[in-house]
Amino acid sequence: MNAVRDTWLVTRHNVRIALRQKAGIVFGVLQPLLYLALFGPLFATIGTWETLVPGLLAQVGLFSAGLSGIGIVFDARSGVLERLRVTPARRTALLLGRVLGSSLTVLIQSVILIAAGYAFGLRAPLPGVLAGLALMTLLGVGLAALSNAIALVMDPDAFAPIVSTAVIPLVLLSGAFLPMSMAPAWLDVISRLTPFRHVVEAIRDLFAGHYATWTVAAGVAVTAILAVVCVAVGTRVFNRENA
């Protein structure tokens, strides 16, 4: 009970902080929006918006949640983290509240991207969109937890350049920009080994109105496992004394 309440309080605080940083939200989604506007029309000559937008959503999730751990570095430096650790709040709540806040940012950015997609010609059914957003939020939880864990262990100055570089092959391998069905076999195999391929393909199915498919099941399962594992890792790192 207490842990739930603490998590809620910390989440709300982090959401307020996130919402105040409107520039941060916009810049996080700006890159995928540029792809949508300047690459989308090209893509639409060979494919559909329902294929492209899920890929760009993965890009949003990976960049936005993937880099969200930087916040904990600032809080560690300014002493905020230590101050919170001396309160009786559950340690897990302190991490989870932050992660849920970042995940909400991903959700807002996903909504912006999908809305822009509609302006260009995306026509996905509402249930599919909502299911896709739910999946994105869950993905955001996992990635933000992992990002926090990495930020706590890594040299803070190296964090942003390394993570933002590491994210690029993950986005490319997810088949975000062109479906991996077009890829040579070896690339297809590597792609299948990354979790984000499955998430992207699940959202593509959802956007196409195909809900009860193995692809969707696989995407949901991969996202859920990723979230559980990443939150477990994040909690472990965060709870380590002197972290």
**Interacting residues with other proteins (CB under 8 A):** 2, 6, 9-10, 13, 16-17, 20, 74-75, 78-80, 82-89, 241-242
Q: Compare residues 77 and 123 and give the one whose CB is closer to other proteins.
A: 77
**Phi, psi torsion values for 52, nearest 5 degrees:** -70, -45
What 8-state DSSP symbol labels residue 182? G
Q: How far is the CB of 237 from other proteins (least distance, A)?
A: 15
Q: Compare residues 26 and 115 and give the one whose CB is closer to other proteins.
A: 26
Distance CA 60, CA 66 (A): 9
Q: How far is the CB of 70 from other proteins (least distance, A)?
A: 13
Q: Compare residues 17 and 37 and give the one whose CB is closer to other proteins.
A: 17
Distance CA 217, CA 39 (A): 29
Q: How far is the CB of 77 from other proteins (least distance, A)?
A: 8
SS3 102: helix
Q: How far is the CB of 29 from other proteins (least distance, A)?
A: 21
**Residue showing tokens 């912006």:** 112
Q: How far is the CB of 6 from other proteins (least distance, A)?
A: 6
Q: Compare residues 88 and 184 and give the one whose CB is closer to other proteins.
A: 88
Q: Compare residues 24 and 121 and give the one whose CB is closer to other proteins.
A: 24
Which CB contacts under 8 angstroms, 24+ apart, belong to 1-6?
2/90, 3/90, 3/92, 3/93, 6/89, 6/90, 6/93, 6/94, 6/97
